[in-house]
Amino acid sequence: MRKVVLLLIFVLSFSLFAQEKEKKKGPSPFTSPKNLKVLPSEGLQATMQGYRAALGVMCTYCHVQGDFANDEHPKKVIARNMIRMLGDINSRFPDGKAHVSCYTCHRGEAEPKMTPPAAQ
């Protein structure tokens, strides 16, 4: 009987601990996006990580800290236009496939280079 009670306490405290952990982390911002105007919600997390890598920036380069749905950050507005521009570019390839990505132009930089480096 004592063993059962001890086991119960153990299991209960463990589930309380798990709940506490869940509360601290909060729900993922990707589970229910509220303000998507161009992107699908499927694969959003991977897409955002892709932007981060393509431009070599942090999430807060485009987002108001702690509020991903907010449109007040000017870079987010520019990025949305870039997504539309990219869709337009990719729609023009004769094979109908997407050949251009953010990285094609940005190469890990926020501002792509317009000219090649000067010859040595």
Cα(101)–Cα(98) distance, integer angstroms = 8
Those residues whose C-beta lies under 8 Å from the C-beta of residue 81, and which sit 6 or more positions away, are none
One-letter amino acid of 19: Q
Compute CA 71 distance to the chain's CA centroid, rounded to the nearest angstrom: 15
Please state the closest distance from residue 37 (CB atom) to ligand HEC, in A: 4
| Residue 39 touches ligand HEC, criterion: CB under 6 A | yes
Count of residues in contact with ligand HEC, rule CB under 6 A:
37
Site residues (vs ligand HEC, CB under 6 A): 29-30, 33-39, 48-49, 51-52, 55, 57, 59, 61-63, 68-69, 75-76, 78-80, 82-83, 86, 100, 102, 104-106, 110-112
